[in-house]
Chains A and B, each alone.
Chain A
């Protein structure tokens, strides 16, 4: 292109006067950091608190049935899984600024693959543990009551679990996996643009 210098001149005529001041960006930086981290930390804290409560229950409440103990362990394991997975994803908020476009696209592809694995495997394990924990843990408390109460309580539990497994999860799974697969296709396309001719 013979007139690339002309293009450069033209390029530099862009109006940049309306950009915010440095101080304004600094104030936004403080707000932005807190807001993004708050949600994730809150989720981890909730999981840890719930896990702590369950551990206290195990220590202080001496259950007579093995099913209750297994239920408690399943719930603790589900909380650990939730806290652990979110702690790992916190890494996304840690400084990953000094990398080339090629490394960044590879990082995004890797992260999205991990997320896909989370929806396909980790989430299923977590939901299974939580569901099993609820079913087993509740038994000792209702077992002393009449058959009507047992059927009513377990009826509600089963309806809730079925709603979770047959409606909420498939709906979210489809939505999230479609989004992630589309993202991965685009990332792969960009990655090819970088790799091309190397």
Chain B
């Protein structure tokens, strides 16, 4: 079992990207990374290798994303950012990446999570275990989400 520092250094960037895909806000995404690894640190001793450690970490991270709806301010921010596709980004941020986040932010909650995990290159089986659905069902969802995303990206003149 790797130590906390090794786990953090390996997965924190991945978790950050997934959270960014969900909230489309750097500061909120950073808060979510912290919340995720606070939970990982607290529960690492009870992790029993019943699933891959990455599945366990992404389950925590995506559940924290979903829980954002319970926090008033975050809820407002998530909805606001999702409904205004011209959200501001850091100056140095690549424009294409900003547009990708904006298009993902316009998807439904679970669609945002699934596409973010897919872009993170997680296998279908692992994504299905994180979300809690079977693999064939996930494949159907992924097909539709990709179509939706492609339409939005085209509307932005990206692809």
Contacts and interface: CB of A to CB of B under 8 A. Distances in A.
Contact of B16 (A14, A22, A193): A14
Interface string A179-191: 1000100110110
Contact of B94 (A13, A22, A23): A13
Contacts of A183: 69-70
Given A14-B20, A101-B131, A108 B9 contact: no
Contacts of A29: 37-38, 41-42
B121 A14 contact: no
A193 B108 contact: yes
A100 B138 CA distance: 14
Contacts of A97: 39-40, 43, 56, 59-60, 63
If over half of A's interface residues share one DSSP class (helix, strand or loop), that class is named, otherwise mixed; here it is: helix
A147 interface: no
B153 to A, nearest CB: 8
Interface stretch (A2-10, A63-71, A74-82): A2-10
Given A190-B109, A197-B140, A104 B96 contact: no
Given A4-B146, A10-B100, A197-B137, A101 B70 contact: no
A140 interface: no
A182 B116 CA distance: 26
A191 to B, nearest CB: 9
A19 B12 contact: yes
Nearest to B57: A97
Nearest to B40: A97
Q: Most chain-A Cβ atoms within 10 A of its Cβ — which of B33, B38, B50, B146? A: B38
B25 interface: no
Interface residues of B, number: 65
Contact of B8 (A12, A25, A33, A193): A25
Contact of A100 (B5, B9, B42, B132): B132
Contact of A11 (B67, B120, B140): B120
Contact of A101 (B93, B113, B134, B150): B113
Given A22-B8, A29-B41, A97-B56, A16 B113 contact: no
A32 B42 CA distance: 11
B4 interface: yes
Interface of B: 4-5, 8-9, 12-13, 16-17, 20-21, 30, 33-34, 37-43, 46-47, 50-51, 56, 59-60, 62-63, 66-67, 69-70, 72, 75, 90, 92-94, 96-97, 100, 108-111, 113, 119-121, 129-134, 137, 140-141, 146-147, 149-150, 153, 159
Closest 10 A/B residue pairs (Cβ):
A102-B132, A100-B132, A16-B13, A22-B8, A193-B110, A11-B119, A29-B38, A22-B5, A104-B63, A29-B41
23 contacts: A1-B149, A7-B149, A8-B121, A11-B97, A11-B120, A13-B94, A15-B92, A22-B4, A25-B38, A25-B41, A29-B41, A32-B38, A98-B60, A100-B129, A100-B131, A101-B132, A103-B132, A104-B66, A183-B69, A187-B69, A189-B109, A190-B69, A190-B109
Interface of A: 1, 3-4, 6-8, 10-16, 18-20, 22-23, 25-26, 28-29, 32-33, 95, 97-105, 108, 179, 183, 186-187, 189-190, 193-194, 196-198
